[in-house]
Amino acid sequence: MRWSHYFIPTLREDPADAEVVSHKLLLRAGMVRQLAAGIYSYLPLAYRVMQKIMAIIREEMNRIGGQEFLLPALNPREIWEESGRWTAMGDNMFRLRDRKGADLCLGMTHEEVFTAIARDELRSYRQLPQIWYQIQTKFRDEPRPKSGLLRVRQFIMKDSYSFDVDRAGLDRAYELHREAYCRIFDRCGLKYTVVEASSGAMGGSESSEFMVRTEAGEDMIVVCEACGYAANLEKATSRIAPIEDAPGPDAPEEFPTPGVRTIEDLTVFPGGAPADRQIKTLVYMMSAEDGPRPLLALLRGDHQLHETKLSDALGGVAVRPAHPDEIRDLLGASAGSLGGVRAKEIARARGRELRIVADLALRGRRNMTTGANRDDYHLRGVDVERDIAVDQWADLRIVNSGEGCPRCEGGTLEVFKALEVGHIFKLGTKYSESMGATVLTPEGKEVPIVMGSYGIGVERVMAAAIELHHDADGIIWPETIAPFDVIVTVTNIKDDRMREAGERLYAELRGAGFDVLLDDRDERAGVKFKDADLIGVPYRLTVGKKIADGAVEIFQRRTKRASEVRLSEAVARLRELKAQSRP
Amino acid sequence: MRWSHYFIPTLREDPADAEVVSHKLLLRAGMVRQLAAGIYSYLPLAYRVMQKIMAIIREEMNRIGGQEFLLPALNPREIWEESGRWTAMGDNMFRLRDRKGADLCLGMTHEEVFTAIARDELRSYRQLPQIWYQIQTKFRDEPRPKSGLLRVRQFIMKDSYSFDVDRAGLDRAYELHREAYCRIFDRCGLKYTVVEASSGAMGGSESSEFMVRTEAGEDMIVVCEACGYAANLEKATSRIAPIEDAPGPDAPEEFPTPGVRTIEDLTVFPGGAPADRQIKTLVYMMSAEDGPRPLLALLRGDHQLHETKLSDALGGVAVRPAHPDEIRDLLGASAGSLGGVRAKEIARARGRELRIVADLALRGRRNMTTGANRDDYHLRGVDVERDIAVDQWADLRIVNSGEGCPRCEGGTLEVFKALEVGHIFKLGTKYSESMGATVLTPEGKEVPIVMGSYGIGVERVMAAAIELHHDADGIIWPETIAPFDVIVTVTNIKDDRMREAGERLYAELRGAGFDVLLDDRDERAGVKFKDADLIGVPYRLTVGKKIADGAVEIFQRRTKRASEVRLSEAVARLRELKAQSRP
């Protein structure tokens, strides 16, 4: 490719509206342009990178027996009704009507369509296992698209689905995917952590995320360096020091706490209690077909609720904090004076059924202090299991850096920001049961197909590579996914000798199978070097004045090391360098 | 690939709802499944074929200097407003609202987005020419999706756009595309005709379609075998014998024609006229911002109107036949008694302005008969140019088989059904002017970029290949786009010797770079042969009983010729056969 005819609209300055590094550099390197919020056009340089990533994904998916499909982005409402997700996907799903008034949506993921095909075409365990995949455009109406390609409304995803006759088959397919994903991300030059994750709207029993540690990420992950335990914050647990409670009274005692509204207030109130001896009481509303239903989430006073954990504890139902008026209607008190003791009775008297979910750290605790469901009053001497009608014990608490690893003895947890680039799910029979996809076992029994679902975000891989590999001058592409292997920079294109040497190198390198960009623009050498650094081609061959002595310069973008080489030996030298840099 | 693990759900019977051959065979060969009207899932076998077609397209586009982009399917309303096509695309465009209420549409084509990028990034003639392309999913809400993949609501298109500083540049880009398209369709094994076409909703000055002659097509093309003239019926003209009219009276004469409602009626009515001496008068409504406007289309009595020609004559405005009550409101008579004489005066008296467009075949005609705008009365002695206030003369007439070629002397036209697989347009400055995409010329003058637009339907290429290449047993893929180069059929997989020989052949062929499908299913040989014929793999290597003598059979799907070959020589023999069959 000749830069003089190639469209790489680089920018000199950082774009004003870009915050994260990958966003800035994708814009500055002339790779993407925004068409609307969260909707980007990919220019040729970006698409070259994406095609290399997709080729790697395809190779590794084929290697584990994956078969490539292409399913429609337009989906009829009916199949999403069958799985129950037409409603569950809420505002995140783009919906439209066709000219005949039929409801359609744009696929956010393709469990439904693949399950429908499996239902119609698979009959017997003999046809299993199957791994079906596609590399295809997904649509999600993100409430807050941002960070360039990190949170968008349209993106390319490799999604695959495994179909097995039993759980053992699913375990194998899941492991095959885990290994394939590791190879894919390794080959794309990403450093990543595999973490336990919440399955969220996908459902199923188990899931892992592939996380790249970067400040640009919007996820938080928890890692134990000692034993390798790693989990998404929404799933992570930790060991915390047990607290020995002194015995309390036989029943809770109410006492006045004028003006006390927060945990913090009560720690300093005379006769109050330290935060870890208080019960934090939060009111949430959970989605239900007949309207939102209230619940109390109870935690230790110094602990924070993770809403995803609460939602997961409820089987994946969406939850939201109750509004102040909903709280008062329910319990007759304001948010600062709530408590679990007698809460169900109070709610029932007001015509509402109330569910109580308590964090595991409250189990066995006694002599605690909490709100009295009466403004300006609290209760002390509360024995959680004796005095509160807990419906469900669950892990609801946000893990903090420095807490103990839940898996090993001496490990300490750390919390990092991270970017999700892949996610694998053991779906089990959630979709095959709701949509009726069954096969006959060897014994002739009809069973629902056991499914897995696995995704990789192609743009995220590209953006993560930039987040991990860049410097002040621009991108430093991993060689495997660089848009070009090498750039030949002719410092003065008007000099015949330089131009001819550049053309000769260009032809030779192409003949040797390299992806080459020839910078044949009529620009100053400084501009060309800056642009080459910015777009991040791994090697630059510079044809300058030394060509008079038959020499050119080889410059490695990553190390910034330059060396001189005979023109006639440049190709061989480049091959050597590339071979050395292979991991 | 091993068939035992590969997903090819072939069907024994023709599906009831499929009419055209490609639709039947795509379903029977387990290549596609319908998800909703005009929306298909592509199974692995189909996607292999499509990937081969896309690779050929990519190679040929890159060869003419095309640069591959990927643009979003989701488009904001604003850019379609700029070009004026938000309204013009009507019900064919899928529209939706995002969670914030912003209007979006699904791209039917990408002139708008590419022009917007050109506007923002191109400044100077020095950056031109550019050819930008993508291979991407398009969405069109077809009123009547049908014929399998021939008329669908979601499909993959290679669309490209050329940007030049002047018309001469556009002519070059257009010619480059014409040549590239010929190479693409040649390489995909299609026989095609390049025809002059209407530019329709795209606008611009000139366009050509690449048409495959097949009964499955929904277009009609007109061809002169003598000189090679070829045009879409919506654009084709012809030479017809001139008619000498006897002089008529000084003014039209009204005469009663009770019960006469049609051209045919009047030919047999005493004192009537033969069809070629009558004027056919049709009332149409053309779209306008302030509501539909009426117009008369006049043709010779024995000629048929082509609505696209009428629309094109009006500058691409949509037209529809007027309803009976609209006609009566306008002219006070019913459809069988209309005429152009005094029609404007009558309409004006009823408060409507009327436009009259007359077919060129009426030019100079006199002593003609037409309706009197009074039920049961006609006029004779009408001199078209003297008596009718024609606003516009245009070619409106449908060409018929057997008429004279408009280009050569003795040629005769034939009309065929055909399927459009590609379309190239000289857009000129329609989009660059409306959207303000300009560059500076060498003289420093700001001019609108001169654009071309070029499309190929990927699924259509696949379906056309099937329409052209099949027999009663199934598909006969052109070797360039076949899903596999060769199938190795082991007639009895339980026979160790056969199975081992099959595995050996499979490994050898793969090693030699062939795409191989190994039919290792536990099925009868007859079933395997039938399936292999159905999915149309060009060569079958059959491993059967003769393996005892070290022999296998090579069967060519196209010629149905079989020959015996030593197992050790099978790969070499297959190479020979493939080399021979190369065009």
Contacts of A95 in chain B (CB under 8 A): 96
Q: Are residue B142 and residue B213 in the same domain, yes or no?
A: yes
Does a structural domain hold residue B92? no
pTM of the model: 0.92
Answer yes or no: are the C-beta atoms of A60 and A184 closer than 8 Å: yes
Query: Residue A567 is part of a domain; what is its CATH number?
Result: 3.40.50.800
Among A2, A3, A7, A164, pick the best mutation site for testing chain B contact (most B Cβ within 10 A): A7
Contacts of A132 in chain B (CB under 8 A): 7, 44
B41 vs A72: CB contact, 8 Å cut-off?
yes
From B394, B426, B445, the end of a domain falls on B394
Place of tokens 């169900």: A344
Contacts of A7 in chain B (CB under 8 A): 67, 121, 127, 130, 132
A117 vs B69: CB contact, 8 Å cut-off?
no
Does a structural domain hold residue A402? no
Among B41, B53, B103, pick the best mutation site for testing chain A contact (most A Cβ within 10 A): B41
Q: Are residue A267 and residue A206 in the same domain, yes or no?
A: no
Q: Are residue A130 and residue A212 in the same domain, yes or no?
A: yes
Q: Are residue B509 and residue B567 in the same domain, yes or no?
A: yes
Q: Are residue A206 and residue A294 in the same domain, yes or no?
A: no
Does a structural domain hold residue A80? no
A39 vs B96: CB contact, 8 Å cut-off?
no
Q: Are residue A157 and residue A185 in the same domain, yes or no?
A: yes
Torsion on CA atoms B356, B360, B365, B368, rounded to nearest 10: -50
Contacts of A116 in chain B (CB under 8 A): 35
Place of tokens 């070797």: B479
Distance, in angstroms, between A60 CA and closest chain B CA?
15
Distance, in angstroms, between A177 CA and closest chain B CA?
17
Nearest CA in chain A to B143: A99
HEC profile of B214-268 = CCCCCEEEEEECCCCCEEECCCCCCECCCCCCCCCCCCCEEEECCCCCCHHHHHH
Q: Are residue B44 and residue B177 in the same domain, yes or no?
A: yes
3-state helix, strand, coil in chain B (%, to 5): 35, 30, 35
B36 vs A74: CB contact, 8 Å cut-off?
yes
Answer yes or no: are the C-beta atoms of A153 and A38 closer than 8 Å: yes
**B453 is in which domain, residue-wise?**
27-73+107-236+414-467
Distance, in angstroms, between A39 CA and closest chain B CA?
7
HEC profile of A333-357 = CCHHHCCCCCHHHHHHHCCCCCEEE
A65 vs B96: CB contact, 8 Å cut-off?
no
Q: Are residue A170 and residue A290 in the same domain, yes or no?
A: no
Look at residue A291 in the predicted model and tell me its pLDDT. Answer: 86
A42 vs B70: CB contact, 8 Å cut-off?
yes
Helices (H) and strands (E) in chain B, counts: 16, 31
- Give residue A5's identity as a one-letter amino acid code: H
A113 vs B72: CB contact, 8 Å cut-off?
no
Global ipTM: 0.92
- For residue A242, the tally of other CB atoms under 10 A from its CB is 9
Contacts of A76 in chain B (CB under 8 A): 35-36, 39
Among B1, B7, B110, B449, pick the best mutation site for testing chain A contact (most A Cβ within 10 A): B7
Look at residue A226 in the predicted model and tell me its pLDDT. Answer: 95
A75 vs B40: CB contact, 8 Å cut-off?
no
Nearest CA in chain B to A43: B69
Contacts of A5 in chain B (CB under 8 A): 65, 130
Nearest to B252 by CA among B150, B368, B114: B368
HEC profile of A293-332 = EEEEEEEECCCCECHHHHHHHCCCCCEEECCHHHHHHHHC
Does a structural domain hold residue A408? no
Does a structural domain hold residue A150? yes
Distance, in angstroms, between A81 CA and closest chain B CA?
14
Does a structural domain hold residue B1? no
Does a structural domain hold residue A10? no
Answer yes or no: are the C-beta atoms of A489 and A543 closer than 8 Å: yes
A35 vs B6: CB contact, 8 Å cut-off?
no
How far, CA to CA in Å, does B558 sit from each of A213, A530, B177, B184, B518? 56, 57, 31, 21, 20
Of B7, B70, B113, the CB nearest to A132: B7
> How many beta-carbon contacts under 8 Å exist across A and B?
139
- Predicted confidence pLDDT, tens digits, chain B (583 residues): 999 999 999 999 988 889 999 999 999 999 999 999 999 999 999 999 999 999 999 999 999 999 999 999 999 999 999 998 998 888 899 999 999 999 999 999 999 999 999 999 999 999 999 999 999 999 999 999 988 999 999 999 999 999 999 999 999 999 999 999 999 999 999 999 999 998 776 667 789 999 999 999 999 999 999 999 999 999 999 999 999 999 999 999 999 999 999 999 999 999 899 999 999 999 999 988 788 999 999 999 999 999 999 998 998 788 999 999 999 999 999 999 999 999 999 999 999 999 999 999 999 999 999 999 999 999 999 999 999 999 999 999 999 999 999 999 899 999 999 999 999 999 999 999 999 999 999 999 999 999 999 999 999 999 999 999 999 999 999 999 999 999 999 999 999 999 999 999 999 999 999 999 999 999 999 999 999 999 999 999 999 999 999 999 999 999 999 999 999 999 999 999 989 886 5
Query: Residue B376 is part of a domain; what is its CATH number?
Result: 3.90.960.10
Query: Residue B40 is part of a domain; what is its CATH number?
Result: 3.30.930.10
A47 vs B65: CB contact, 8 Å cut-off?
no
Helices (H) and strands (E) in chain A, counts: 16, 31
B69 vs A75: CB contact, 8 Å cut-off?
no
How far, CA to CA in Å, does A131 sit from each of A160, A369, B299, B313, B368? 7, 54, 62, 55, 73
How many domains does chain B fold into?
3
- Predicted confidence pLDDT, tens digits, chain A (583 residues): 999 999 999 999 988 889 999 999 999 999 999 999 999 999 999 999 999 999 999 999 999 999 999 999 999 999 999 998 998 888 899 999 999 999 999 999 999 999 999 999 999 999 999 999 999 999 999 999 988 999 999 999 999 999 999 999 999 999 999 999 999 999 999 999 999 998 776 667 789 999 999 999 999 999 999 999 999 999 999 999 999 999 999 999 999 999 999 999 999 999 899 999 999 999 999 988 788 999 999 999 999 999 999 998 998 788 999 999 999 999 999 999 999 999 999 999 999 999 999 999 999 999 999 999 999 999 999 999 999 999 999 999 999 999 999 999 899 999 999 999 999 999 999 999 999 999 999 999 999 999 999 999 999 999 999 999 999 999 999 999 999 999 999 999 999 999 999 999 999 999 999 999 999 999 999 999 999 999 999 999 999 999 999 999 999 999 999 999 999 999 999 999 999 887 5
Does a structural domain hold residue A338? yes
What is the C-alpha to C-alpha distance for residues B560 and B544, in angstroms, rounded to an integer? 18
A98 vs B72: CB contact, 8 Å cut-off?
no
DSSP code per residue over A556-581:
ETTT--EEEEEGGGHHHHHHHHHHHH
From A366, A394, A422, the end of a domain falls on A394
Contacts of B96 in chain A (CB under 8 A): 94-96, 106
A44 vs B67: CB contact, 8 Å cut-off?
yes
Q: How far is CA B516 from the centre of its chain?
A: 34
Radius of gyration of chain B (CA): 29
A44 vs B35: CB contact, 8 Å cut-off?
no
What is the C-alpha to C-alpha distance for residues A70 and B462, in angstroms, rounded to an integer? 15
Among A31, A52, A81, A98, pick the best mutation site for testing chain B contact (most B Cβ within 10 A): A98
Look at residue A70 in the predicted model and tell me its pLDDT. Answer: 98
Of A5, A35, A91, the CB nearest to B65: A5
Q: Are residue B173 and residue B261 in the same domain, yes or no?
A: no
Of B6, B50, B74, the CB nearest to A67: B6
Q: Are residue B259 and residue B232 in the same domain, yes or no?
A: no
Buried b (16+ CB within 10 A) or exposed e, B183-196: ebbbbbbbebbbbb
A69 vs B75: CB contact, 8 Å cut-off?
no
Contacts of A50 in chain B (CB under 8 A): 70
Q: Are residue A257 and residue A363 in the same domain, yes or no?
A: yes
Q: Are residue B167 and residue B186 in the same domain, yes or no?
A: yes
3-state helix, strand, coil in chain A (%, to 5): 35, 30, 35
B70 vs A39: CB contact, 8 Å cut-off?
no
B113 vs A43: CB contact, 8 Å cut-off?
no
